[in-house]
Amino acid sequence: MITSISENIDQVSAQIAKACHLAGRSSDSVSLLAVSKTRPAEDIRAAYACGLIRFGENYLQEALDKIEQLSDLPLEWHFIGPIQSNKTRPIAEQFDWVHSVDRFKIGQRLSDQRPPGMAPLNICLQVNISREESKSGCLPEEAPALARQLSALPGIRLRGLMAIPKASDDEQEQRRAFADLRHLLQQLNSDLPGLDTLSMGMSGDLNPAIAEGATIVRIGTALFGARAPKNA
C-alpha cells in the first residue's frame, strides 16, 4: 500500500507543479490536503511516511477515532464536512482547520468552545458558489456580512473561502465558478485584509482550480484510489 500511495502522491505533486507553472505560480503556493475520509489509519500513516501532513475528514466520529490512533504523528487535521451544531465541541477541540463554516451560529460555537491556550481555529467560510439547492454554503451575496461577523470572534481565525462548485466536465465552466470564488475573496479583502485562503479543487478539477488561484486543493481519490461506499 505504501508504494501505491507513494506513486500517487508523486503523480499528484507533479500535476500540481505543472498546473502552477502554467498559471505562472510557485508550486509552494498550493497546499495539498489529503482527503482521508473512509480511509483506515494505516493509509494515513503511509501517506505521512511519504511526506504528507495535512489530512481532511468529513465524518466526525470516524475522524476522532483516527486522530486518537495517530496521536503519535504531528499531523494537521482539517474538518471539511457539514457541521451539526451539537457536534461543534469536539471539532473545536481536536482540529486545526474547518473548511465548512456556512452560518454564524456554527462559527460562534466553534469560537466559544475552542479550548483556552490553543491557537484560534483556522476556518474557511463555505460558499454555495453555483447556487445548488443540494449544496451547503452561504450564498455569495451573504458572504460579506457573514465574514465580518466571523472575523470578530476571538476563538477562530477567518482565513478565506471554500467551495464545491457544480460538477461539470467543461473546464471553462469549472474555471468560471472558481474565478467567481476568487473575485469574492478579493472583494472581502477590501474590507477584511489578510484573507489568504481559497480551498477549492478536487481530483477531477485540480487544474482549473489552480489556474484560478486555489491555495488548498482537497484530493482524495487521486491519492488513495476509489472509495468503497460508506455505510450510513
**Mind listing the pLDDT tens digit for each residue in 152-172?**
999 999 999 999 999 999 999
The answer to whether residue 9 sits within a structural domain is yes
In a domain, 209, yes or no: yes
Residue whose entry in the numeric block shows the C-alpha cell 505504501: 2
Is 232 within the bounds of a domain? Answer: no
Which CATH number characterizes residue 131's domain?
Answer: 3.20.20.10
Please write the tens of the pLDDT for every residue from 31-77.
999 999 999 999 999 999 999 999 999 999 999 999 999 999 999 99
87 CB-contact burial (10 Å; exposed 0-12 / middle 13-18 / buried 19+):
middle
188 within some domain: yes
User: Structural domain of residue 218, as residue ranges?
Assistant: 2-224
The predicted pLDDT at position 227 comes to 72
Among residues 13, 5, 91, which one has the least CA distance to residue 45?
5
In-domain check, residue 229: no
Pairing relationship of beta strands 156-162 and 197-199 according to DSSP bridges: parallel
Q: What is the pLDDT of residues 67-114, one digit of tens each?
A: 999 999 999 999 999 999 999 999 999 999 999 999 999 999 999 999
Q: How many domains does the chain have?
A: 1
Q: What percent of the chain has pLDDT over 90?
A: 95
- Decide if 144 is inside a domain: yes
CA atoms within 13 A on the CB side of 126: 22
Residue 197 located in a structural domain:
yes
231 within domain boundaries: no
